[in-house]
């Protein structure tokens, strides 16, 4: 079995969020399970590129509209990630430092997809499945089936995994000429709401669709940023598969970013040392419970509610807790959090930006991880937190409700609440402060959650079943 993953992100090559984590881990564990699994992604100019050895695999020219461009496929030489990794270089479009956020992202990802399909159409064999991730690879199932030049790939099954349906890659119809010559009678497959919608096109054309948790699959039938009816009408080819975590990367006993390693047996002392280190760095009191938020400061994560909620929590519980935020996103939220931290510098600190190393240290140092998300397709942060003995405090939605049991329920080890609002968050902080004072219960919860198996091995089997069904 040979599976080709196509994605905009892959850790540690380039990561902006959970998509990168998944595409960096799933293929590794698929190869361990005997599936030949490869990753193809754009060749951004990130440190991984310069710190690895590469061989040129293929070079050719293709067209995007009237523009003929040259692309180069390079392959990582030593299989250092545990799978074959291919990068696609297109001068002027993909040779940038960041993954997203450029005004020409539509052209960038369209050219990337054209190059990938063009390259695969020249292979002498056909893979078992082409596995597309999110909208950046969403035009690929359509192109494989309905672009005249890629007939060689017409019968190859495709899988779409939806990591996040909020972003769909909308293109006006005036850009339809960017897609290589296609069967115009299939226009309806590209269209949603009078524009070209790559995510919708993939939902229509892919042989199977997966989401990154079972609950998210159900949610998408009701809230999918305009695609609800489409997803509901395709539900027979949809399946929700919960993400795993890479326990080789996310392991408090070996994590190279931590100053002190720990295991279930040494969790209390190990976490306290990591917490002391963070508190010393940032000027917080390590004897108090430490609440952490890590993530994109956007509406999906309910980051807009955080400044008000944390302000109220500080007022309500006075000197009883410390708070630390790591993230970036909406400038208004960044500013509100920064102001809150300046006004309450003894108990709250904010680090604006993306910092992989600090994120690991915070999962290890924190007592509680706050995730009030409005939308959470799977959520990896709560899984990492649990592996590091940090109690997740989550809104009951998507993958959060699939993975966290409230401490008030039998066997529960987390804190759940219903609404992404100040009242629910402040109440949840109060419950957390109470449990922090009950050391026996806290230790029991930590030990319990650290032993939960969220490894990729079991998830790999679910994906294998999907490929076998094609």
String of DSSP letters for 386-399: HHTT-EEEEES-HH
User: Whole-number minimum distance, CB 384 to ligand ADP, in Å?
Assistant: 6
Binding mask 340-359 for ligand ADP (x = CB under 6 A): --------------xxx--x
User: Whole-number minimum distance, CB 275 to ligand ADP, in Å?
Assistant: 18
Among 24, 327, 372, 414, binds ligand ADP (CB under 6 A): 327
Rounded CA gap, 224 and 230, in Å?
A: 9
Of 63, 64, 84, which Cα lies nearest the Cα of 73?
A: 84
CB within 8 A of 347, min separation 6: which ones?
A: 284, 285, 288, 314, 319, 321, 322, 323
Q: Give the number of other Cβ atoms within 10 Å of residue 297's Cβ.
A: 24
For residue 294, state whether it binds ligand ADP (rule: CB under 6 A). yes
Among 198, 244, 252, 295, binds ligand ADP (CB under 6 A): 295
Rounded CA gap, 81 and 114, in Å?
A: 25
For residue 17, state whether it binds ligand ADP (rule: CB under 6 A). yes
For residue 210, state whether it binds ligand ADP (rule: CB under 6 A). no
Residue whose entry in the numeric block shows the structure tokens 């309500």? 316
User: Whole-number minimum distance, CB 99 to ligand ADP, in Å?
Assistant: 12
User: Whole-number minimum distance, CB 337 to ligand ADP, in Å?
Assistant: 12
Among 186, 296, 419, 427, binds ligand ADP (CB under 6 A): 296
3-state secondary structure 177-235: HHCCCECHHHHHHHEECCEECHHHHHHHHCCEEEECCHHHHHHHCCCCCCCHHHHHHCH
Among 379, 389, 392, 414, binds ligand ADP (CB under 6 A): 379
The residue (of 119 and 135) whose beta carbon lies closer to ligand ADP is 135
For residue 329, state whether it binds ligand ADP (rule: CB under 6 A). no
User: Whole-number minimum distance, CB 133 to ligand ADP, in Å?
Assistant: 12
For residue 380, state whether it binds ligand ADP (rule: CB under 6 A). yes
Rounded CA gap, 14 and 49, in Å?
A: 9
The residue (of 42 and 180) whose beta carbon lies closer to ligand ADP is 42
Residue 407 sits at the vertex; the CA angle it makes with 351 and 305, to the nearest 5 degrees, is: 35
The residue (of 144 and 241) whose beta carbon lies closer to ligand ADP is 241
- Contact range with ligand ADP by CB under 6 A, out of 145-153, 181-189, 289-297, 342-350: 289-297
For residue 21, state whether it binds ligand ADP (rule: CB under 6 A). yes
For residue 117, state whether it binds ligand ADP (rule: CB under 6 A). no
State the Rg of the chain over Cα: 23
The residue (of 145 and 382) whose beta carbon lies closer to ligand ADP is 382
Rounded CA gap, 106 and 169, in Å?
A: 7
User: Whole-number minimum distance, CB 317 to ligand ADP, in Å?
Assistant: 25
Q: Where are the alpha helices (DSSP H) in 283-380?
A: 306-317, 331-343, 356-365
Say if residues 202 and 189 touch (Cβ distance below 8 Å).
no
Which residues bind to ligand ADP, rule: CB under 6 A? 17-19, 21, 164, 294-296, 326-328, 354-356, 359, 378-381
């Amino acid at each position: 079995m040979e599976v080709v993953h196509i994605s905009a992100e892959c850790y540690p090559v380039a990561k902006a969020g959970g998509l990168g984590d998944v595409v960096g881990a799933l293929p590794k564990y698929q190869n361990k399970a005997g599936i030949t699994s490869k990753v193809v992604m754009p060749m951004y100019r990130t440190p991984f590129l310069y710190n690895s050895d590469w061989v040129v695999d293929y070079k050719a020219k293709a067209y995007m509209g009237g523009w003929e461009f040259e692309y180069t496929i390079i392959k990582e030489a030593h299989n250092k990630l545990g799978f074959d990794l291919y990068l696609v270089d297109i001068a002027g479009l993909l040779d940038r430092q960041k993954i997203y956020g450029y005004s020409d992202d539509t052209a960038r990802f369209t050219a990337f997809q054209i190059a990938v399909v063009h390259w695969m159409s020249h292979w002498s064999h056909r893979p078992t499945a082409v596995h597309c991730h999110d909208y950046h690879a969403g035009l690929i199932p359509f192109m494989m089936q309905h672009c005249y030049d890629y007939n060689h790939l017409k019968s190859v099954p495709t899988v779409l995994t939806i990591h996040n349906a909020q972003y769909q890659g909308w293109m006006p119809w005036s850009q339809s000429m960017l897609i290589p010559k296609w069967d115009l009678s299939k226009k309806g497959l590209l269209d949603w709401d009078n524009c070209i919608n790559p995510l919708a096109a993939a939902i229509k054309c892919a042989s199977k669709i997966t989401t990154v948790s079972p609950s998210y699959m159900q949610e998408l039938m009701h809230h999918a940023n305009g695609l609800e009816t489409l997803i509901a009408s395709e539900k027979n080819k949809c399946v929700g598969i919960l993400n795993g975590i890479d326990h080789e990367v996310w392991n408090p006993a070996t994590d190279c970013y931590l100053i002190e390693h720990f295991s279930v047996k040494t969790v209390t002392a190990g976490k306290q040392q990591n917490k002391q280190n963070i508190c010393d760095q940032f000027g917080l009191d390590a004897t108090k419970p430490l609440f952490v938020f890590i993530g994109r400061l956007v509406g999906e994560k309910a980051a807009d509610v955080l400044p008000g909620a944390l302000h109220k929590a500080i007022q309500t519980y006075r000197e009883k807790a410390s708070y630390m935020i790591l993230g970036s996103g909406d400038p208004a939220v960044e500013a509100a959090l920064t102001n809150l931290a300046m006004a309450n510098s003894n108990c709250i600190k904010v680090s604006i930006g993306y910092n992989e190393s600090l994120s690991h240290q915070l999962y290890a140092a924190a007592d509680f991880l706050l995730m009030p998300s409005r939308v959470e397709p799977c959520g990896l942060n709560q899984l990492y937190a649990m592996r590091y003995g940090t109690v997740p405090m989550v809104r009951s939605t998507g993958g959060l409700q699939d993975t966290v049991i409230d401490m008030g329920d039998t066997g529960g080890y987390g804190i759940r609440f219903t609404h992404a609002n100040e009242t629910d968050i402040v109440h949840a902080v109060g419950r957390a402060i109470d449990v922090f004072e009950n050391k026996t219960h806290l230790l029991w919860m930590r030990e319990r959650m650290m032993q939960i198996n969220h490894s990729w091995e079991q998830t790999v089997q679910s994906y294998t079943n999907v490929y076998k069904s094609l």
